[in-house]
């Protein structure tokens, strides 16, 4: 599903590569934790998958497409098959829960009938039934992240990328967020989650890829967070 082959990324004005000859394979339906300290290249990895950045060397394949040969014109279509969740939720403050989720479908031109049918289903899937008409500032952090996950998942992407989704959320609420991610993963969606949260990684017992200074130092199935130390 995601295939990195010897990928190197150096940002302009920086000597040290953000990613240094990375090769990694993520299969369809897998759940992968991307761990490592800040600046180890986790976010760069996710940005490369989205083709927000281009690698300086190496090849990236996502959902069977060679990103180097994917024209800019087709990038939006790639992104429709990838959902994204961030630490800061990135909701629209002037739209309610339903509208925030529906926005993702409106802007890719889905018909209104389809949106009316699908959005409530997804809002229920993330556990926000009955709160569809709340505004984001009336929701807790955990609930806002659920909205963000609903928006990321509403178009049934093949891949869900999560960049520290529990970074702003207390541990008890984080468990709920992880349950939703697990639920999404069980529908067959590949999930890649970058995180610092050792407790979550340890409890989930999924594949762990650890980055340090842009290099993979550990790739372990059913791993835990801190084993390398």
Partner 1 sequence: MRANFIFSEVWIGLRRNLTMTVAVIVTVAIGMALLGVGLMINAQVSNMKDFWADKVEISAFLCSKDSPFEACKNTGGVTEQERETLRQQIQAMPEVQQVYYEDAAKAYQNFKTQYGADSVLVAAVKVEDMPESFRVKVKNPESYTAVMERIKGAPGVSNVVDQKKILEIWFSLLERLRWSALAVAFILVFAAILLIGNTVRLSAYNRRRETGIMRLVGASNLYIQLPFVMEGMIAGLVGGVVAATLLIMSKVFLFESVGQYLGSSALGWNDVAWVIMLTMAIGVIICVMASFVTLRRYLRV
Mark residues 145-174: x for contact with partner 1 by CB under 8 A, - for none: ------xx--x-------------------
Residue number with CB closer to partner 1 (13 or 94): 94
Told to check if 186 binds partner 1 by CB under 8 A, we report no
For the CB of residue 12, give the shortest distance to partner 1 in the complex, in Å.
15
String marking each residue 110-149 x if it binds partner 1 according to CB under 8 A: xxx--x----------------------------------
Binding footprint of partner 1, residue count (CB under 8 A): 26
* Residues 54 and 18: beta-carbon distance below 8 Å: no
Residue whose CB is less far from partner 1, 1 or 35: 1
For residues 73-92, which are near partner 1 according to CB under 8 A?
A: 73, 76-82, 84, 90, 92
Nearest to 226 by CA among 204, 203, 201: 201
- Give a three-class secondary structure readout of the chain: CEEEEEEEECCCCCCCCCEEEEEEEECCCCEEEEECCCCCCHHHHHHHHCCCCCCCEEEEEECCEEHHHCCHHHHHHHHHCEEEEECCCCCCCCCCHHHHHHHHHHCCCCCHHHHHHHHHHHHHHCCCCCCCCCCHHHCCHHHHHHHHHHHHHCCCCCEEEEECCCCCCCHHHHHHHHHHHHHHHHCCCEEEEEECCHHHHHHHCCEEEEEECCEEEEEECCCCCCCCC
Picking from 140, 135, 184, the residue whose alpha carbon sits closest to that of residue 162 is 184
Report, in Å, the least distance between residue 167 CB and partner 1. 18
Q: Please select the residue that binds partner 1; options are 108, 198, 199, 217, rule is CB under 8 A.
A: 108
Of the residues 107, 172, 222, 229, which one makes contact with partner 1 according to CB under 8 A: 107
Q: Restricting to residues 30-59, name those near partner 1 by CB under 8 A.
A: 50
Shorter beta-carbon distance to partner 1: residue 109 or 130: 109
CB 163 to partner 1: min, Å: 11
Residues of this chain that interact with partner 1 (CB under 8 A) are 50, 72-73, 76-82, 84, 90, 92, 103-104, 106-112, 115, 151-152, 155
């Amino acid at each position: 599903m995601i295939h990195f082959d010897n990928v190197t990324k150096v940002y302009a004005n920086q000597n040290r590569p953000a990613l240094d000859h990375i090769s990694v394979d993520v299969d369809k339906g897998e759940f992968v934790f991307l761990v490592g300290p800040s600046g180890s290249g986790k976010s760069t990895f996710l940005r490369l998958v989205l083709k927000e950045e281009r690698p300086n060397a190496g090849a990236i394949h996502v959902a069977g497409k060679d990103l180097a040969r994917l024209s800019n014109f087709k990038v939006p279509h790639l992104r429709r098959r990838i959902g994204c969740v961030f630490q800061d939720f990135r909701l629209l403050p002037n739209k309610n829960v339903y509208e925030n989720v529906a926005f993702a479908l409106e802007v890719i031109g889905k018909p209104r009938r389809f949106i009316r049918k699908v959005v409530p289903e997804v809002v229920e899937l993330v556990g926000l039934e009955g709160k569809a008409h709340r505004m984001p500032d009336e929701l807790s952090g955990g609930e806002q992240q659920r909205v963000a996950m609903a928006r990321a998942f509403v178009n049934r992407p093949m891949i869900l990328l999560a960049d520290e989704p529990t970074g702003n959320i207390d541990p008890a609420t984080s468990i709920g967020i992880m349950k939703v991610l697990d639920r999404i993963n069980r529908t067959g969606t590949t999930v890649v989650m970058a995180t610092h949260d050792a407790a979550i990684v340890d409890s989930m017992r999924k594949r762990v890829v650890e980055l340090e200074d842009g290099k993979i130092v550990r790739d372990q199935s059913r791993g835990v967070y801190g084993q390398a130390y």
